[in-house]
Amino acid sequence: MPSSARTATLRDAVGLGVAVGLYGVAFGAAAAGAGLDTWQAVATSALMFTGASQFAMIGVLGAGGGAFSAVGSALLLGTRNTVYGVRLAPMLAPQGWLRRAGAAHWVIDETTAMAVAAPDRELGRLAFWVTGATIYLGWNVTTLVGSLGAAALGETAQAALDAVVPAAFLALLWPRLQRSAREPGVQRRVALGGAVVALALTPFVPAGVQVVLAVVAVALAGRPRTTTSPREAAA
Amino acid sequence: MSTGTLWAVVLVGSLGCYLLKLAGLSVPAAWVERPWVTRVVEFVPAALLAALVAVQAATSGPDLVVDGRLVGLAVAAVALALRAPFIVVLVLAGAAGALVHVVTG
């Protein structure tokens, strides 16, 4: 393999890791706002290590939601990683249960994107491990920084943090609604449906439950009605 | 919620998310690569994230409320439309929320 391709892969992997690390500050601060102490925030980043699920969990907890809603919304977003694992398995081909168990922990959006985008299998494996290591380190360190920083905030800074959390969710959602996304029209209808159902249910169900019910409602609305037209069924 | 319950949420949620990852590397591809599974996985994030945006920005307990968070969200949307980096989006949203708090508080 040409060493320039290897260098480019390493540079991209480290660069992405540093950029993603910035999300960790937002997560640590938001976790503190949702009532997690610093140990719990860092444990979440170290053990759950999948950003959207972590934000969903503390989002539900921050809204006063119960344990089942919090875990449920984290798992709903975690199903993505199962599909990523299926895509990565032939490339990583982890030998033995220990390597498989280790590789699995780093199967997330960014490592999958980097591995799949690499020009060949060997660079793909390199991209997976280097991206995973960089993000894991950065994500946990910045979670700690964010959690400790939030503890020192005053009332006005707390109001700022309250506004940052929905903005962070919007930033995660945004790329899915753009024209470059797959089926952006359906994504937008799904997103609008999720938001409307969640707001409509808010006065009537315990906090956090409306988030899970909104997803279930949208999924049921888009359930396959015929076996011949999956495109129509998804709309 | 008690500290013990919070720990249970963190640990059970983490274990579940890990098992979902491990399953992908372990189960036969045909189990997961079914059309309805891929449809659900492709669109669940949009519904869930949008629901979280709405709940985080415009509710407080069982009430629908309008405050600095919604202003921050609007500012964030404009910043995202202008392709601002993630950290800039968050800083602008936070600044807008803080400003509303100072003005109205």
Same domain, A150 and A183: no
Instruction: Give me the pLDDT at residue A229, please.
Output: 46
pTM summary value: 0.77
**Assigned domain for A171 exists:** no
Q: A68 Cβ partners below 8 Å, 6+ apart?
A: none
Q: What is the pLDDT of residues B33-55, one digit of tens each?
A: 788 777 877 888 889 889 989 99
Same domain, A235 and A138: no
Q: What is the pLDDT of residues A45-54, one digit of tens each?
A: 999 999 889 9
Q: Is A127 on the interface with B (CB under 8 A)?
A: no
Same domain, A40 and A138: yes
**Assigned domain for A173 exists:** no
Q: Do A173 and B49 touch (CB under 8 A)?
A: yes
Closest CA to A33 of B69, B14, B49, B50: B69
**Assigned domain for A229 exists:** yes
Instruction: Evaluate if residue A73 carries a pLDDT over 80.
Output: yes
Q: Do A186 and B43 touch (CB under 8 A)?
A: yes
How many CA atoms within 13 Å lie on the side-chain side of A143? 26
Same domain, A49 and A91: yes
**Assigned domain for A165 exists:** no
Q: A147 Cβ partners below 8 Å, 6+ apart?
A: A28, A29, A31, A32, A36, A37, A38, A41, A42
| CA-CA-CA-CA torsion sign (A45, A94, A130, A182) | negative
Between A227 and A213, the more confident residue is A213
Instruction: Give me the pLDDT at residue A225, please.
Output: 62
Amino acid at residue number A30: A
Closest approach of A5 to chain B, Cα-based (Å): 27
What does the pLDDT average to over A34-60? Answer: 94
H or E stretch covering B53:
helix B35-58
Q: How many domains does chain A have?
A: 2
**End-of-domain residue from the set A95, A123, A156:** A156
Same domain, A148 and A192: no
- In eight-state DSSP terms, residue B64 is E
Same domain, A29 and A139: yes
**CA-CA distance, A71 to A76, in Å (whole number)?**
9
Range of the domain at A122: 3-156
Same domain, A41 and A147: yes
Where in chain B are the domains?
1-33
Reported as a pLDDT band with limits 50, 70 and 90, residue A210 is confident
Instruction: Give me the pLDDT at residue A72, please.
Output: 93
**CA-CA distance, A24 to B16, in Å (whole number)?**
21
Same domain, A94 and A126: yes
B47 closest CB neighbour out of A26, A207, A214: A214
Same domain, A42 and A99: yes
A230, burial (CB in 10 Å: exposed 0-12, middle 13-18, buried 19+): middle
Q: Do A57 and B96 touch (CB under 8 A)?
A: no
B54 closest CB neighbour out of A19, A199, A207: A199
Instruction: Give me the pLDDT at residue A224, please.
Output: 65
Best B5, B20, B69, B100 member to test A by mutation, with max A CBs in 10 Å, is B20
Note whether A194 and B71 are within 8 A (CB). Answer: no
**Assigned domain for A172 exists:** no
Closest CA to A19 of B86, B83, B92, B81: B86
**Assigned domain for A164 exists:** no
